[in-house]
Amino acid sequence: MITVNIGEAKKQLSRLVDQVVKGEPFIIAKAGKPMVKVVALDAPKAPRRLGFMEGEIDVPEDFDRMGETEIEMLFGITPSDSR
- Evaluate whether 24 touches 48 at the Cβ level (below 8 Å): no
Q: Give which of 53, 52, 54, 25 is closest to 40, Cα–Cα.
A: 25
Lowest mean pLDDT among 13-22, 27-36, 70-79: 70-79
Given this model, what pLDDT does residue 16 score? 96
Q: Which domains does the chain have, with CATH numbers?
A: 2-38 (3.40.1620.10)
Q: What is the pTM of this model?
A: 0.51
List, in sequence order, the alpha helices (H) in 1-83: 6-11, 13-21, 68-74
Beta-sheet strands, E only, within the chain: 2-5, 26-30, 33-38
Q: How far apart are CA 36 and CA 27, in angstroms?
A: 6
- pLDDT, one tens digit per residue, over 24-59 is 999 999 999 999 999 998 867 777 788 888 888 888
